[in-house]
Structure 1
Amino acid sequence: MKEDSIEFATRDGQRLQAWRWAPEGAPRGVVQVQHGLGEHGGRYRRFGEALAAAGYLVYAPDGRGSGRSANGRYGHWGPDGWPGWVDDLLQLNHRIRQDHPGLPVALVGHSMGSFATQQFLLDHSAAVDAAVLLGSTEVSGIVAMMTAEGPVDLSALNQGFEHRTGFEWLSRDAAEVDRYCADPACGFVPEPFAGIQTLARAADPAALSAIRPDLPILILSGDADPIAGGGAALQLVAQRYRDAGVSDVDLTLYPGARHELLNETNRDEVTARIVAFLDRTIGG
């Protein structure tokens, strides 16, 4: 396995850094990973290494306002705001297609990255060969939360969990929670997302009908994830895709698991499930 980084440009003139994990030998396909709010692509190293061991080439950007791409200005989204976040997925996809013509590409989005993925697929489902949503939910409530007055406050998500750090909602693994809290590039309070209202399109049946019907979509969530509504919100997301004509939609809920499935106590099980999905869809 080889680790390195690339840089690519956004449409509003930012330069984003992306981690890359490559397998030994020729890759079977490419996996593009989009992280969530208040974190960065470097947190996906363990996942990237597991995918590389399975033969996949992995790109995991530090999104705008995040990780190395933020240049210390965490949570500053730039002129294009939320629509830029979504378009950044397309810009990296173009770079991947340019560097690896002919290889199939899967898109994996976690949390805010999964919401960006939901919106991205409305207009660009032909750009990817499979999609995975992690730590996701039905988007209407997210739009309401992100457009509320004042800074984005996620503290309410920890209600119902033990309160040691305030981030227990992320994982049952205390060591993973501590690593998150100790990372200066995690847990920051972001500026409002200009243009986040456009995310509401991902709940619109007419917009969803534009997704190509043969796109395989895997949705994974913990039923104790506070944004998942006990799993009901993900059932709604999956059914909307099916109602829109998407024929291959697979939803799995993990009992007791919280928001960050790739950092949960059952992360090996989750990773194996994703690898099996990739093997079935892009790995052939």
Structure 2
Amino acid sequence: MTEDSIEFNSRDGIRIQAWRWSPEGAPRGIVQVQHGLGEHGGRYRRFGEALAAAGYVVYAPDGRGSGRTAQGRYGHWGRDGWPGWVDDLLQLNHRIRQDHPGLPLALIGHSMGSFATQQFLLDHSREVEAAVLLGSTEVSGIVAMMTAPGPVDLSSLNQGFEHRTGFEWLSRDAAEVDRYCADPACGFVPEPFTGIETLARAADPAVLPGIRSDLPILILSGDADPIAGGGAALEVVAQRYRDAGVKDVELTLYPQARHELLNETNRDEVTARIVGFLDRTIGG
């Protein structure tokens, strides 16, 4: 396994940094990972290494306003704001296709990255061969939260959990929570996402049938993830895809698991589930 980085340009001129983990020998397929709000692609090293060991090459960008791409200006989204965040998935997709012509590609989005994935699939489902949503939810409430006056405040998500750092909602693994809190590129208060109202399209039953019917979609969540509504919100998302004609939609809820499944106490189980899905869909 090797680790390196690439750069690519957003449509509004941001130079985006992306981590890359590659297997020994020829890859079986490609995995594009989009991280969530208040974090960065470097946090996916363990996951990327596991996927590389399974034969996949993995690209994980530090999205706009995040990680190395932010150059210290965390939470500043650039001229194109949220529509730019979604389009960045397409720009990286194009770069990956240039690097690995002919290889199948799976898109994995966590949290805010999963919302971007939901929106991306409305117009670009033919650009990927499989999709995975982690730490996701039904997007109508997210639009309302992100368009409310004032800075985005995630502190309410920790209600109902022990309050040691304020980020216990992320994981039952205290060491992982501490690593998040100690990372200066995590937990920042972002500026408002201009254009976030366009995310509401991902809940529009008139638009969802634009997703190709043969796209395999895997949805994974902890039933204690506060944005998942005990899993009921993900049931809504899965059923919307099925009602729109998507034939291969799987939903798994992990008991007592919280928001960051890849940093949870059962992360090995989650990773194995994703690898199994990739093997079935793009690994042949």
TM-score of the pair, normalised by structure 1 = 1.00
Return the alpha-carbon distance in structure 2 between the equivalents of residues 208 and 51 of structure 1: 30
1:171 counterpart residue number: 171
Q: C-alpha separation between the residues in 2 aligned to 1:105 and 1:66?
A: 24
Displacement of 1:117 in angstroms is: 0.1
Give how far 1:174 is off: 0.1
Distance in 2 of aligned mates of 1:174 and 1:14: 35
- Residue equivalent to 1:35: 35
Alignment of 1:15-30 (within 5 A): 15-30=15-30
- 1:109-156 CA-to-partner distances (Å, cap 9, x unmatched) read 000000000000000000000000000000000000000000000000
Counterpart Cα distance in 2 of 1:240 and 1:220: 16
Q: Any residues of structure 2 matched to 1:221-232 within 5 Å, and which?
A: 221-232=221-232
The alignment partner of 2:262 has SS state of: helix
- Per the alignment, residue 182 of structure 2 pairs with 182
**Partners of 2:135 and 2:208 in 1: how far apart?**
20
> Deviations 1:63-108 (Å, cap 9, x if unpaired)?
0000000000000000000000000000000000011000000000
Aligned to 2:78: 78
User: Structure 1 regions of 5+ residues with no counterpart?
Assistant: none
Q: Spell out, residue by residue over 1:1-40, the C-alpha distance to the aligned partner (whole angstroms, 9 max, x if none).
A: 0000000000000000000000000000000000000000
Q: Deviations over 1:145-174 (max 9, x none)?
A: 000000000000000000000000000000
Aligned AA (1:57): V
- Partner Cα separation in structure 2 for residue 98 and residue 174 of structure 1: 40
- 2:265 maps to 1:233: no
Q: Which residue does the alignment assign to 1:145? A: 145
Deviation at residue 60 of structure 1 after TM alignment: 0.1
> Using the alignment, how far apart are the partners of 2:277 and 2:181 within structure 1?
31
> Partners of 1:162 and 1:207 in 2: how far apart?
40
**In structure 2, how many angstroms separate the alpha carbons of the residues matched to 1:205 and 1:171?**
33
RMSD: 0.2
Shift of 1:206: 1.3
Question: Which aligned pairs between 1:61-210 and structure 2 lie closer than 5 A?
Answer: 61-210=61-210
Distance 2:179 2:235 in 1: 31
Count of paired positions: 284
Runs of 4+, deviation exceeding 4 Å: none
Q: Which residue of 2 aligns with 1:46?
A: 46
Equivalent in the alignment of 1:255: 255
Shift of 1:235: 0.2
Whole-Å separation in 2 of the counterparts to 1:182 and 1:11:
32
Structure 2 counterpart of 1:12, one-letter code: D
Task: Indicate whether 1:269 and 2:269 are aligned.
Answer: yes
Give secondary structure in 2 for the equivalent of 1:206.
coil
TM-score by length of 2: 1.00
Q: How far apart, CA to CA, are the structure 2 residues paired with 1:175 and 1:274? A: 23
Paired letter, 1:74: Y
**Partner AA of 1:70 in structure 2:** A
TM-fit CA distance, 1:247: 0.1
CA distance in 1, matches of 2:57, 2:206: 34
Q: Secondary structure at the match of 1:4?
A: strand
Distance 2:176 2:270 in 1: 16
Residue identity (%): 89
